[in-house]
Chains A and B, each alone.
Chain A
Amino acid sequence: MAQKAGIWQIIHEKLASLKLSVFIFLTLAVCSLIGTLLPQGIAEEEMQKHYGPGWAWWINTLGLGDLYHTNWFRFLLILLCLNLIICTLERLPKTLKLLQRRDERNAPEKLLKFGHHRQLSTRLPWDETKDRLTRTISVDFAPPSQLEEPGVFAAVAEKGRWSRLMVYVIHLSILVILLGALMGSILGFKGTMNITEGESSGEVELYGRHEHVNLPFQVRCDDFEAAFYDTGAPKEYRSDLTIVDKGREVLKQTIRVNDPMTYEGITFYQSSYGSTLKDAEVEFQNTDTNQVHKLTLPFRTAVAIPGTKDRVELVQYEQDLSRFGPAVAIMLMKEGKQEPSGSWILVKMPEFHGNKIDNYKIKVTKAQPTQYTGLQVKRDPGVWVVWFGFTAMMVGIGLTFYTSHRKLWIWASPEKTSNKVIIAGRASKNSIAFEQEFDRLCDRLQDQLKPESRKAK
């Protein structure tokens, strides 16, 4: 039993140590570095071709091809969180206790050993001395609270007590950010959808998985426009979208890169575009019979040639095939043949000798391409938690670095000819800046405690 407690104590100590924090930081840095050097998210075969089977095995076993989503990387993040939480539990009560101790008294001999201290003397009457000390320190620093000390004047003044708590705000903000990310990955989804101009869709292809999500409404793309500068560089990509919910048009909005649209917690981002064919009018001339069939072929739907059991399908569209202009790929499934045959048919060159498959000469009489817009679709309920964490982190970092808890001890005793005053100070950090503040304050006190300044007032 005692031994068990020992083990837990050691684990607890290790988890609460600053050394572990530095170790985790450096380990996370090295692991992230590896992830940027190896290509992420590529197929195993490609990995084998690149690195050879031996290396590929290691890369695969350690999950280095998708490093940031491996369990051991997650373990490092969890270790970081544990380290943060245990450090906080360990140190926060001590800090709070330190902050509550307001009437910390110090003997004058001790005050003279402080890094920042000054000894003054004044010929002012005793009551006036106390009065001026209190007033000046109240105005220039913070109102001092007097300690009960018979025969002498002892007081403590402090500023920026909350500064000591800001470091916990930073640490908490990291936990909040990671929590937000976790919420996003559990409760949200991320995917893409391509919508042809004039059509609507509600199906989102998810990333990295062969799955899709059906939205509870439809998105219609009314128009897509790509604009270019004179130099040929892209200037703007723009889609006019309409949300159709239960048959009603509920939202019309134009989206651009950097300017997405949100409906019911789902956000649509402009991410890509391309062109596709809705359908094409194609003439098939049977070279055996010289019969000509005029067909309208919808995109990727097989159609039978009248009078035969041969079926044709429009499978691909290319806007500019090897600089020969627009072309459509047509596949022919001949009766009694196992394998389909196919060819690219050039739209603008009807006399091209390659415009045929088997015994059919093919001519495209009408192929009007339409554009489609590529949207990135995302639902992330954790994003506001992450934003909150970011804000807390910035406030925490700014205040931790640029404010400090400063405390002043004042001790004065009446003497026969002149009263003795000792001022001592201490700051939780940034002691150079505090030294200047302390010196300025002491200079002012010295000035205020001169009997002549009494008349000036």
Chain B
Amino acid sequence: MNSSILLSITTFGYFLCALLYLSGVVFRFRPLLLSGTFAGLIVLVIQTAGILLRWQESYQLGYGHAPLSNLYESLVFAAWAIMIIYLVLEARSKQRALGVFPSLFAFLAMAYASFSNQIDSKIQPLVPALKSNWLIAHVIACFLGYAAFAISAGISILYLVRKAQPTNPNPKGFMAIFPEAKQLDEFNYQMILFGFLWLSLGIITGSVWANSAWGTYWSWDPKETWSLITWFIYASVLHARAMQGWRGNRVAWLSLLGFGCVLFTYFGVNFLLSGLHSYASN
């Protein structure tokens, strides 16, 4: 048994999980949603074991670092973070239909990590710039934030679709399985708050780390700048909610824009712009 087998199982597991949630919504059959939740929980346990095993394997190779050091490992962690945050949200909100997008995002992250030939899944040694205790804090904080924003983007899509429907949809209709628009807006807000907290912590830990590695806590490196752009967008979401006439649709669109920035910070900067964070691209 090694970590790559466990992580392969995870990829297919999230595929199954997303399929269960999706068919539960399409056929409006709640037991399918419940089995989606169970599948998600079981796969999350397998994935956790896979990540821990990979950590141990890196020690056996003599490198000894947390599995958070390159694009492959960060994608695996992103999928893990999305699912754990989502399952907590589901347990608290009792709204299983929300699982469609998070499980899909988790599957896509794992599939991209596993099947793309641009991504090397081998355990690599750490370059000197990454040898720091800040690595774990920085990556975990950033990806908890990104994961919360991914879930919020999913809820925003549901919100926009739901809002376009009449207030009291046909009880046998497609949308009836989702919570009301007002509730979706509230869940969206909760996820953005959570994501904003972690994104801020991610930027701050990155900044403190940069100060000890490169001697400057802010150098307008593309990755830094894009995380700040993301921060500005979500800061405007938080303030816009307090403005008249900005609740609802506009907040949902801004949240989607924010998630677009997250994706660009994560992938776009690596592949399109060059900078100090280049080790994240392979």
Measured CB to CB, the residues of A under 8 A from B are 18-19, 21-22, 25-26, 28-29, 32-33, 35-37, 40, 68, 181, 190, 229, 231, 233-237, 256-260, 267, 269-271, 376-378, 383, 386-387, 390, 393-394, 397-398, 401, 432
List the A side residues contacting B243 at CB < 8 Å: 18-19, 22
Which of B194, B213, B225, B236 touches A22 (beta carbons < 8 Å)? Answer: B236
Which of B125, B131, B218 touches A233 (beta carbons < 8 Å)? Answer: B125
List the B side residues contacting A68 at CB < 8 Å: 220
Known: A18-B239, A258-B129. 6 other contacts (CB 8 A): A18-B242, A36-B225, A258-B132, A397-B196, A398-B197, A401-B193
By beta carbon, the residue of chain A nearest B234 is: A25
Closest 3 CB pairs of A and B: A257-B128, A25-B236, A29-B232
Which of A19, A28, A271 touches B214 (beta carbons < 8 Å)? Answer: A271
The proximity string for B residues 66-108 relative to A, scoring 1 for CB distances below 8 Å and 0 otherwise, is 0000000000000000000000000000000000000000000
| Contact of A390 with B204 in the complex, beta carbons under 8 Å | yes
List the B side residues contacting A432 at CB < 8 Å: 186
List the B side residues contacting A267 at CB < 8 Å: 215
What are 25 of the A-B contact pairs (CB < 8 Å)? A18-B243, A19-B243, A22-B239, A25-B233, A26-B233, A29-B232, A29-B233, A29-B261, A33-B225, A33-B226, A36-B222, A36-B269, A68-B220, A190-B215, A229-B125, A236-B128, A258-B212, A259-B212, A269-B214, A271-B214, A376-B215, A378-B215, A383-B217, A390-B204, A394-B204
Bound-state Cα–Cα, A432 to B217, Å? 39
Measured CB to CB, the residues of B under 8 A from A are 124-125, 127-129, 131-132, 186, 193-194, 196-197, 200-201, 204, 207-209, 211-218, 220, 222, 225-226, 228-229, 232-233, 235-236, 239-240, 242-243, 261, 269, 273
Bound-state Cα–Cα, A22 to B232, Å? 9
Bound-state Cα–Cα, A33 to B227, Å? 10
| Contact of A256 with B128 in the complex, beta carbons under 8 Å | yes
| Contact of A36 with B226 in the complex, beta carbons under 8 Å | yes
Bound-state Cα–Cα, A377 to B128, Å? 19
Taking the nearest CB of chain A, how far is it from the CB of B120, in angstroms? 12
Bound-state Cα–Cα, A26 to B201, Å? 21
Bound-state Cα–Cα, A259 to B212, Å? 7
List the A side residues contacting B209 at CB < 8 Å: 258
Taking the nearest CB of chain A, how far is it from the CB of B195, in angstroms? 11
Taking the nearest CB of chain A, how far is it from the CB of B156, in angstroms? 18
By beta carbon, the residue of chain A nearest B228 is: A32
Which of A18, A181, A237, A397 touches B128 (beta carbons < 8 Å)? Answer: A237
By beta carbon, the residue of chain A nearest B218 is: A181
Taking the nearest CB of chain A, how far is it from the CB of B211, in angstroms? 7
Bound-state Cα–Cα, A260 to B228, Å? 26
List the A side residues contacting B125 at CB < 8 Å: 229, 231, 233, 235
